């Protein structure tokens, strides 16, 4: 499923629900939507970096792409976005403690992972609608979690745990060509 199809579908469902609630209950939700979104975004921008644990790198691209490629440190990361793409390339990344943790929270997100053979990956993904493209095959889920571990995860010296939480999520894991 393409990202624009998912976004359009979510938009249409939301518009339909708001219209239905207005007809059934007589409450105009449209008056509250934009102010609530603005207040929520403002609170998220102000409070989230302060509430993160010590040593957690918090990034909030909100709308757009985030690329972690080249020689980057895989430690503890937290990424907040509304709609965006995240590329995690572990091919030349360094693992200072041997194990890293990445948490991605977003409404609509696409996560692409490039995984070399020497890195173990564990995924805990929760989304309303999700699509997973793993080396073992493709899976589509509706209101269901995905728990995945790469082969020999526990024996790898370098490991990363990825947690995602979102409404619509697409995760692709590809082997590294290095």
What pLDDT digit, counting tens, does each position of 99-115 carry? 999 999 888 889 999 99
Range of the domain at 137: 55-175
Q: How far, CA to CA in Å, does 141 sit from each of 75, 106, 119, 167, 174?
A: 29, 17, 26, 12, 19
- How far, rounded to the nearest angstrom, does the alpha carbon of residue 28 sit from its chain's CA centroid? 32
Average predicted confidence (pLDDT) for the chain: 84
- For residue 155 the two structure tokens come to 């024996």
The count of domains in the chain is 2
C-alpha to C-alpha distance for 90 and 117, rounded to whole angstroms: 10
Do 97 and 161 belong to one domain?
yes
Give the residue-averaged pLDDT of 107-124.
93
Do 75 and 88 belong to one domain?
yes
Do 119 and 78 belong to one domain?
yes
**51 falls in which pLDDT band (50, 70, 90)?**
low
């Amino acid at each position: 499923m393409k990202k624009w199809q998912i976004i359009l579908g979510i938009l249409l469902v939301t518009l339909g629900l708001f219209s239905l609630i207005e007809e059934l209950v007589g409450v105009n939700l449209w008056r509250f939507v934009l102010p609530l979104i603005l207040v929520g975004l403002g609170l998220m921008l102000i409070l989230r970096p302060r509430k993160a644990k010590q040593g957690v790198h918090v990034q909030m691209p909100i709308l757009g792409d985030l690329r972690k490629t080249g020689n980057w440190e895989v430690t503890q990361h937290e990424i907040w976005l509304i709609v965006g793409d995240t590329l995690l390339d572990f091919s030349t990344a360094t693992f200072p403690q041997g194990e890293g943790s990445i948490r991605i929270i977003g409404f609509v997100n696409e996560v692409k992972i490039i995984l070399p053979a020497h890195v173990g990956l564990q995924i805990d993904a929760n989304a309303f609608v999700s699509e997973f493209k793993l080396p073992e095959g493709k899976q589509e889920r509706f209101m269901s979690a995905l728990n995945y571990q790469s082969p020999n995860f526990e024996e790898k010296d370098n490991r990363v745990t990825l947690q995602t939480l979102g409404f619509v999520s697409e995760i692709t894991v590809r082997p590294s060509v290095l």
